[in-house]
Structure 1
Amino acid sequence: MEGLSRYIATGQTAKHRIFQLLDASILPDDKLIAIALDDAYALGVLSSRIHACLALAGGGWLGVGNDPVYNKSKCYEAFPFPAATPEQQARIRDLAEQIDAHRKRQQGLHAELTLTGMYNVLEKLKVSLPMTAKEKAIHEMGLVSVLKSLHDELDAAVLEAYGWRDAPSDETILERLVALNAERAAEEANGQVRWLRPAFQHPEAVQAEMGLSRPTHSVAAKEGGTSPSPPRTEPPRQPWPNTLPEQVAAVARVLAEARAPLAEADLAARFAGKGPWKKRLPQLLDTLVALGRARVLEDGRWMG
């Protein structure tokens, strides 16, 4: 974390998955998950319902209260951040800063106020459950209705950054994250990495923004002319996946890697499988269009 004035942290085991910004002078112990990022944009994405879905599904459970455990390899390293535009990043960053500042301000005003207490009340507000006298006091001290409103705005902003405008359920969010993770793995295999902290991770080519476009692979010019294009070869057929998330990811990957638009028959020819699996292709393609991962041309061919 050298060079950072602050970093993102969350408790390894906690009833509520809360991320916050800590001053770099605070050294994390083994019970704290420290993320070496100081950008509130990352804080906002991690604080969203979208990340919470994966954190709960990928983590473990521990203790008398069966509290969720944050498994950094499954919950963080496998989590695909959205390819947000600069405007979307700015919106998420601003909301995350507001949430972090609001909590710290209210705790500074009321020494007895805890994050766990505030989020216990927030969860009750979500489902309109009655509050005890103690919870009403926490609600007033923490201005928890304001906190809830900020989180609602943050969730909407992060969903917008992913391009998911259809109010997806938690199960659908998980399926889409799994598919997106597979897409990102394919990108990285092709040399495209979406750095979260490029100045540290890739200093040779510092990039100012997240959500990089696919790199263009050009043929280097030689003396006296250009190198001839390599001969094209048909890609090998791959096994048709068993599960729906894997099928979505596989079709998206083939479209993204194709050098030219593909007809549905050409797309089907990229896979090998038994049974009526080809009948699912139109539905999968429509799903990818809804996710913003594919588009159909006027001639009926498909592009990633």
Structure 2
Amino acid sequence: MLPDSRINIIAREDDVCFGILLSRFHEAWSLRLGGMHGVGNDPQYTPSTGFETFPFPEGLSPNISPAAYADDPWADRIGKAAIALNDLREKWLNPPDLTRREPEVVPGFPDRLVPIDDAAAKILKKRTLTNLYNERPTWLANAHADLDAAVAAAYGWPADISEEDALARLFALNQERAGAASAAEMLDEPAE
């Protein structure tokens, strides 16, 4: 099912892929290669260019089962940083003093978080990821910096690598892998 033509869903059972996709490296790659949408030239995520061409760190690509890198220290570090970032965001979006858990009526679905009262509902209405990232509090910036450092380490890069240097290295890695894939395809072709 495609709920909307502008929604992209990447289904994974690990936090490593989630963390890599939340890194500043993937963000820069997808913004550079993605198109613009709408009158205000809002960036749009284009899976064919932003996701399919993105060179994930060696051994951590989405076509590899998470079980294959379960003992990888880089994967562990990225996964932990992604979980920490997500936990912080969830606590901001749905703070325990404004929400309560109610059991879901459908078996197998997670509990629902609902506002404790009308005043909480008004506050929660303003607690969106867009508003959070527009505010960009220090705790959020620090959590992203930790995640970015973990992803940079998986590439073998310094944590403070510039965006332009990271993009140049990603492009070189993309070209290297595309060349290796082309060579492998040529070897698989039957001789004429």
Deviations along 1:126-150, one digit per CA (max 9) or x if unpaired, are: xxxxxxxxxxxxxxxxxx3222111
Superposed displacement of residue 40, structure 1 = 0.9
- 1:45 aligns to what? 20
- 1:157 aligns to what? 150
- 2:130 aligns to what? 116
1:61 aligns with 2:36: yes
Identity of aligned residues (%): 40
1:179 aligns with 2:172: yes
1:106 aligns with 2:92: yes
TM-score (norm 2): 0.68
Q: 1:146 to 1:191 in 2, by over 3 A?
A: same
Whether contact under 8 Å (2:153, 2:159) holds in the other structure is: no
CA-atom RMSD in angstroms = 2.3
Q: Which has the higher contact order (CA 8 A, sep 6+)?
A: 2
Superposed displacement of residue 191, structure 1 = 5.0
Whether contact under 8 Å (1:41, 1:89) holds in the other structure is: yes
Aligned pairs (5 A) from 1:151-300: 151-165=144-158, 167-189=160-182, 191=184
1:93 partner amino acid: G
TM-score (norm 1): 0.44
Q: Which moved more, 1:144-153 or 1:104-113?
A: 104-113
Higher normalized strand content (fraction of residues): 1
Whether contact under 8 Å (1:28, 1:34) holds in the other structure is: no
Q: Which has the larger radius of gyration?
A: 1
2:47 partner amino acid: K
Q: Structure 2: give runs of 5+ residues left out of the alignment.
A: 60-68, 96-122, 186-192
SS at match of 1:32: coil
Structure-1 separation of matches of 2:40 and 2:89: 24
How many aligned residue pairs are there? 146
Q: Structure 1: give runs of 5+ residues left out of the alignment.
A: 2-26, 123-143, 193-304
SS at match of 1:65: coil
Structure-2 separation of matches of 1:164 and 1:51: 14
Structure-2 separation of matches of 1:189 and 1:39: 29
SS at match of 1:31: coil
Structure-2 separation of matches of 1:183 and 1:91: 26
Structure-2 separation of matches of 1:28 and 1:87: 37
Structure-1 separation of matches of 2:93 and 2:159: 36
Runs of 4+ in 1 over 6 A off after TM superposition: none
Superposed displacement of residue 185, structure 1 = 1.9
SS at match of 2:74: helix
